[in-house]
């Protein structure tokens, strides 16, 4: 079967009872065969794009690519893979924005879930339906490959929007729900996986199930944060809220780390007080680079509004921390927003001369990173290797992390932004597959670096990868029990360690929902069983 796929670099149609002999009968070079109605592309450009991801660190070319037009297409292909005498792998690929080949496979089929709509690559042929908004019930049903930017556009037409976001919206719903989906709203609403009512999932046996808190609960909780291991999300029902119209977006600076984290922790503690005034988004980042504050994630500190670190901290070259907060509002309440923000800022301990404020439409705030993407693309700085490191660090050790990493082995060139913000563990459903540190509050620390070949060692892939290893070694040596977000390991022992107490359950779910281990093998957790 695999050999046949490799030979047929054309269009092949595969049936329910995909059997090597069926395909061999095709003669290897025919354009299409009507066996069951699932059309696989072996077009070189499809294979090429499924071979790569945002990380640009690994490459694996699949044997074929499926552009499904429905959940039934997905189910037919998976069933064929599952029932075939020699199992082949199937990897859902959303927008391919993984770092380490998580959506790749080199001995099977990539199911290209995203690929049409405003945000996706255009393609011919039928596509799954657009998002369907249920205004009264305040939720939206979306195809698993839908990009969040398109979900936002659809829901805004009804004056509604999802509650929990990622910083960047050109990611697929299935892709972020397979991890968690976090941003500055997570302290209040939880990650995206805490804002899902229901899913349709094609399991590794090729069966389609609807699952939720009430129905097929094991599958529901397993798939959320499940790294694509138990099934392919074909539909997600996502919770909505009335969409704000505008955002007051504020950045303030700190030179003292404990004041910075103290304020962040205070702000996220307000989530438990429904009537309290609070910010809607709490993030932050670390500034160790010398010179202009330079954050590719937005043009907030623009050339019109330049900030010299030296002018803030007296030129001592130390590390600065930037708290980033927003308050959403409706135009009808615009007259009170100034007072509300002022009252909240009064309780914080930032450097008083360092308040930077802007005001913009809600959609522009949510889509802020895309602007930076376009800028980087125009300079050829987007399609470069990305040795990212994303860690969840327990609150009790974040000061040690600061000393050892931000003020320690990081140096003064970081090759990209470093995000740091806390979240409340009680907003994370422990029944999901995702693992977080064992404390009520933990931080995301995200080193979002780009490796550049510009002659200086400190920007090279090797240098940055080494630095990542040093950071992990430091955490190990110092006994800081970090958990990786968007994890990447190469051995099952490392995965067992990552999941800790949850490994038994994770393994059991795998045996139940994907017994031949054919799904999302790019995660390198399980080996295909013949």
- By CB under 6 A, name the one of 172, 194, 313, 450 that touches ligand FAD: 172
Binding-site size for ligand FAD (CB under 6 A) equals 36
Q: Which stretch binds ligand FAD (CB under 6 A): 155-163, 178-186, 311-319, 430-438?
A: 178-186
476 is catalytic: no
Catalytic residue among 263, 283, 324, 514: 283
Task: Answer whether 513's CB lies under 8 Å from 204's CB.
Answer: yes
- What are the angstrom distances between the C-alpha of 73 and each of 48, 221, 237, 327, 516? 22, 24, 20, 43, 20
CB of 244 to ligand FAD, least distance (A): 19
Q: Which is nearer to ligand FAD, 344 or 520 (CB)?
A: 520
Q: Which is nearer to ligand FAD, 193 or 341 (by Cβ)?
A: 193
Q: Where are the alpha helices (DSSP H) in 117-256?
A: 148-156, 173-177, 186-189, 217-223
**Closer to ligand FAD at the Cβ: 150 or 341?**
150
Q: Assess contact for 202 and 231: CB atoms under 8 A.
A: yes
List 167, 198, 280, 514, catalytic entry: 167
Least distance in Å: CB of 170 to ligand FAD?
8
Stretch that binds ligand FAD, among 60-68, 90-98, 325-333, 398-406 (CB under 6 A): 90-98
Q: Which of these segments, 93-101, 124-132, 270-278, 476-484, binds ligand FAD (CB under 6 A)?
A: 93-101
Distances (CA, A) of 133 to 138, 139, 140, 162, 512: 8, 6, 4, 11, 33
How many Cα atoms within 13 Å fall on the side-chain side of residue 189?
A: 24
Q: In the window 459-518, what residues touch ligand FAD (CB under 6 A)?
A: 486
Please tell me whether residue 190 binds ligand FAD under the rule CB under 6 A: no
Does residue 93 bind ligand FAD (CB under 6 A)?
yes
Site stretch for ligand FAD (CB under 6 A), options 22-30, 122-130, 393-401, 520-528: 520-528
* Token pair for 285: 């980042």
Site for ligand FAD in 19-78 (CB under 6 A): 53-54
Give the shortest CB-467-to-ligand FAD separation in angstroms: 19
Confirm if 233 and 177 have CB atoms less than 8 A apart.
Answer: yes
To ligand FAD, the closest distance from the beta carbon of 383 in angstroms equals 12
User: How far apart (Å, rounded) are the C-alpha atoms in residues 318 and 407?
Assistant: 8
Are the C-beta atoms of residues 292 and 300 closer than 8 Å to each other? no
- 379-405 in b/e burial notation, b at 16+ Cβ within 10 A? eeebebbbbbbbbbbbbebbebbbebb
x-or-dash string of contact with ligand FAD, 95-134, rule CB under 6 A: xxxx---xx---------x---------------------
Angstrom distances, CA of residue 40 to CA of 20, 94, 521: 15, 17, 19
Cβ proximity to ligand FAD, 341 vs 509, nearer residue: 509
d(Cα 247, Cα 332) in Å, to the nearest integer? 13
Round to whole Å and give the CA distance between 297 and 283: 12
Q: Is 97 a catalytic residue?
A: yes
389 binds ligand FAD, rule: CB under 6 A: no
Q: Considering only residues 174, 284, 422, 437, which one is a binding residue for ligand FAD as defined by CB under 6 A?
A: 174
* Residues sharing a CB contact under 8 Å with residue 75, sequence separation 6 or more, in sequence order: 202, 206, 207, 208
CB of 273 vs ligand FAD, minimal distance in Å: 26
- H/E stretch holding 206 reads none
Q: Which two tokens stand for residue 353?
A: 């001369």
Binding range to ligand FAD, per CB under 6 A, among 85-93, 210-218, 266-274, 303-311: 85-93
| Residue 221 binds to ligand FAD (criterion: CB under 6 A) | no
Catalytic: which of 97, 386, 459, 488? 97
| Binding of ligand FAD by 166 (CB under 6 A) | yes
Cβ–Cβ < 8 Å for 196, 184 = no
Q: What is the CA radius of gyration of the chain?
A: 23
Which is closer to ligand FAD, CB of 323 or CB of 519? 519
Contact 206, 232 (CB under 8 A): no
Q: Residue 313 or residue 523: which is nearer to ligand FAD going by CB?
A: 523
Nearer to ligand FAD, 155 or 172 (CB): 172
Terminal C-alpha separation, the chain: 13
Per CB under 6 A, the list member of 227, 267, 445, 475 interacting with ligand FAD is 227
Find the part of the chain contacting ligand FAD (CB under 6 A) among 63-71, 224-232, 334-342, 398-406: 224-232
183 touches ligand FAD (CB under 6 A): yes
Task: State yes or no: residue 180 binds ligand FAD (CB under 6 A).
Answer: yes
* Secondary structure of 252-273 as H, E, C letters: EEECCHHHHHHHHHHHHHHHHC
Angle between helix axes 492-499 and 503-513 (nearest 10 degrees) is 120
167 in active site: yes
**Residue 435 engages ligand FAD in binding (rule: CB under 6 A):** no
474: CB partners within 8 A, 6+ apart: 404, 405, 408, 409, 480
Q: Which stretch binds ligand FAD (CB under 6 A): 87-95, 150-158, 340-348, 356-364?
A: 87-95
In the bound state with ligand FAD, the residue whose beta carbon lies nearer, of 95 and 459, is: 95
Residue 278: HSE in the Cβ half-sphere, 13 Å Cα cutoff: 22
> Shortest distance, CB of residue 68 to ligand FAD, whole angstroms?
10
Q: Are strands 231-242 and 160-162 parallel, antiparallel or unpaired?
A: antiparallel
Residues in contact with ligand FAD by CB under 6 A are 53-54, 91-98, 102-103, 113, 144, 166-168, 171-172, 174-176, 178-183, 227-228, 232-233, 486, 520, 522-523
Q: Which residues are catalytic?
A: 97, 167, 283
């Amino acid at each position: 079967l695999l050999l046949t796929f490799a030979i047929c670099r054309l269009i092949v149609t595969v049936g329910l009872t995909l059997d090597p002999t069926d395909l061999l009968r095709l003669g290897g070079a025919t354009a299409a065969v009507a066996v069951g109605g699932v059309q696989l592309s072996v077009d070189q450009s499809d294979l090429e794009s499924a071979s790569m991801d945002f990380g640009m660190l690994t490459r694996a070319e699949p044997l074929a690519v499926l552009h499904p037009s429905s959940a039934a297409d997905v189910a037919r292909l998976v069933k064929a893979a599952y029932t075939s005498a020699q199992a082949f792998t199937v990897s859902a690929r959303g927008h391919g924005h993984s770092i380490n080949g998580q959506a790749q496979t080199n001995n099977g089929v990539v199911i290209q879930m995203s690929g049409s709509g405003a945000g996706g690559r255009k393609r011919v042929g039928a596509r799954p339906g657009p998002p369907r908004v249920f205004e009264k019930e305040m939720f939206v049903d979306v195809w698993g490959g839908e990009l969040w930017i398109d979900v936002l556009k659809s829901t805004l037409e009804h004056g509604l929007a999802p509650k929990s976001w990622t910083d960047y919206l050109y990611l697929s719903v299935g892709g972020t729900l397979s991890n968690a989906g976090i941003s500055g709203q997570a302290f209040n609403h939880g990650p995206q996986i805490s804002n899902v009512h229901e899913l349709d999932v094609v399991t590794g046996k090729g069966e389609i199930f609807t699952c939720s808190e009430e129905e097929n609960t094991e599958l529901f909780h397993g798939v959320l944060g499940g790294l694509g291991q138990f099934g392919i999300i074909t539909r997600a029902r996502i919770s909505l809220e009335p969409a704000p119209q505008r955002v007051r977006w504020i950045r303030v600076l700190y030179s003292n780390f404990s004041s910075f984290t103290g304020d962040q922790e205070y702000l996220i503690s307000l989530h438990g007080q429904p009537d309290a005034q609070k910010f809607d988004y709490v993030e932050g980042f670390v500034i160790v680079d010398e010179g202009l504050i330079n954050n590719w994630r937005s043009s907030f500190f623009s050339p019109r509004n330049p900030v010299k670190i030296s002018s803030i901290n007296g030129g001592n070259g130390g590390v600065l921390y930037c708290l980033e907060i927003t308050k959403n509002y409706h135009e009808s309440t615009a007259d009170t927003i100034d007072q509300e923000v002022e009252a909240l800022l009064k309780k914080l301990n930032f450097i008083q001369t360092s308040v930077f404020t802007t005001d913009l439409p809600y959609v522009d705030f949510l889509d802020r990173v895309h602007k930076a993407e376009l800028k980087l693309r125009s300079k050829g700085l987007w399609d470069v290797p990305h040795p990212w490191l994303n860690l969840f660090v327990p609150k009790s050790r974040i000061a040690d992390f600061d000393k050892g990493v931000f003020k320690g082995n990081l140096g003064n060139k970081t090759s990209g932004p470093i995000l740091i913000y806390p979240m409340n563990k009680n907003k994370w459903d422990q029944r999901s597959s995702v693992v977080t540190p064992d404390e009520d509050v933990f931080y995301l620390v995200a080193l979002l670096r780009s490796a550049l070949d510009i002659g200086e060692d400190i920007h090279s892939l090797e240098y940055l990868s080494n630095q990542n290893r040093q950071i992990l070694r430091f955490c190990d040596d110092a006994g800081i029990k970090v958990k990786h977000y968007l994890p990447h390991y190469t051995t099952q022992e490392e995965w067992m360690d990552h999941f800790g107490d949850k490994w038994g359950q994770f393994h059991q779910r795998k045996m139940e929902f994907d017994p031949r281990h054919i799904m999302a093998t790019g995660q390198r957790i399980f080996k295909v069983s013949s």
